[in-house]
Amino acid sequence: MARRIVTVFGGSGFLGRHVVQRLARTGALVRVAVRDAEAAQFLKPLGDLGQIVIVRADITEPSTIAKAVRGADWVINLVGILHSSGHRSFRAVHAMGAGRLAKAAAASGATRFVHISALGADRDSPSAYQMTKAEGEAAVLKAFPTATILRPGVMFGPDDQFFNRFASLLRISPVLPVFTTHFTGDLSGPKFQPVYVGDVADAVLASLTDETALGKTFELGGPDVMTMRQVMEYIVEVTGRPRFIMPVHTDFIRFVAIFTQFWPKPPITPDQITVLESDNVLSGTKPGLRQLGISPETIGAVVPTYLSRYRLHHNMLRFRKS
């Protein structure tokens, strides 16, 4: 990869730090566009001196976007939100913001644009999250027809908000929930096809150099498909902390979410419940990781390496050493 300037919007997030590190390894000059430049300073050591530059930019503010993409050869959009609040609504960020960024990238002369969407993006979805993700894809392709769209499933890795979130419940609760739309019959909950964050980062880089990826949409999922119950059972097995796994109807959780959605950092929102009422797996109609030359990691090869900190004996050893 020749030395290029690459602007990464949302580069300080869970996926972003992996993308930035990989770009730095190629020798690219990485411009990381984030809302809080001070909080993103931790990224600088991932590259050589002066190789990673942090700039203040907001995908909802056109003037900051233009400055961030000026002179960039490639532009990557990793920005996404899980709950809508004030001026940072789903539509403002996922749809209008993504389209605005793609338009600015095209106007600045960028030759590649990679956009992270989400598995399940659908303009007809009852979920505002999934609906606006689809709107964002359309806006990006309208402004930058050769853009590559990547739709990852739930991502896992050491700092994820999936396995870690449920494993953390083990420390405070004797019960692990399984969200279900049924009162009887199959109470195993929705299906997931989690994908390793490192594989998604590799897919971003592959999309930048693979000519066959231009203008295409890829669905990214790992080799393992698990129901929500299986996810909970796996967490219990890996951590060695037996818990009662209890089906909870989504109507009840939605009622709770009506109130928690107004918290500064809501643990769950009504829209997230809507997403959880459907499976989140590959459709089989789009190319995926293997078409980008990536062999996906299994859950078993990665997750136990970081869920070990939730094991009871692990915490006892830490206590003894201290």
* Residue-level pLDDT at 85: 84
Are 82 and 172 in a shared domain? no
DSSP state of 181: S
Nearest CA to 195 out of 135, 252, 230, 155 is that of: 155
* Residue-level pLDDT at 320: 46
Report, as an integer, the average pLDDT of 185-200.
Answer: 96
Are 23 and 112 in a shared domain? yes
The 10s digit of each residue's pLDDT in 234-286 is 999 999 999 999 999 999 999 999 999 999 889 999 999 999 999 999 999 99
Report, as an integer, the average pLDDT of 289-299.
Answer: 98
Decide if 80 is inside a domain: yes
Domain of residue 307 covers 164-189+225-279+300-317
Final residue belonging to a domain, choices 115, 146, 177: 146
Decide if 286 is inside a domain: no
pLDDT band at 208 (very low <50, low <70, confident <90, very high): very high
Are 171 and 308 in a shared domain? yes
**Could you give the 3-state DSSP secondary structure of residue 55?**
strand
Are 312 and 171 in a shared domain? yes
Interhelix angle 16-25/197-209, nearest 10 degrees: 50
pLDDT band at 1 (very low <50, low <70, confident <90, very high): very low
The 10s digit of each residue's pLDDT in 129-153 is 999 999 999 999 999 999 999 999 9
Distance CA 19, CA 79 (A): 13
Are 231 and 141 in a shared domain? no
* Residue-level pLDDT at 11: 97
The 10s digit of each residue's pLDDT in 89-127 is 999 999 999 999 999 999 999 999 999 999 999 999 999
Number of domains within the chain: 2
Are 177 and 73 in a shared domain? no
Amino acid at 112: R
Checking if the pLDDT of 2 tops 90, the result is no
* Residue-level pLDDT at 314: 53
* Residue-level pLDDT at 312: 75
- Dihedral, CA of residue 143, residue 212, residue 21 and residue 7, to nearest 10: -20
The 10s digit of each residue's pLDDT in 60-69 is 999 999 999 9
Tell me the CA distances in angstroms from 24 to 17, 27, 220, one per residue in order: 11, 5, 23
Distance CA 269, CA 73 (A): 38
Average pLDDT value for the chain: 94
Decide if 244 is inside a domain: yes
Are 95 and 177 in a shared domain? no
Are 233 and 307 in a shared domain? yes
The pTM for the full model equals 0.94
Are 79 and 181 in a shared domain? no
Checking if the pLDDT of 25 tops 70, the result is yes
Decide if 212 is inside a domain: no
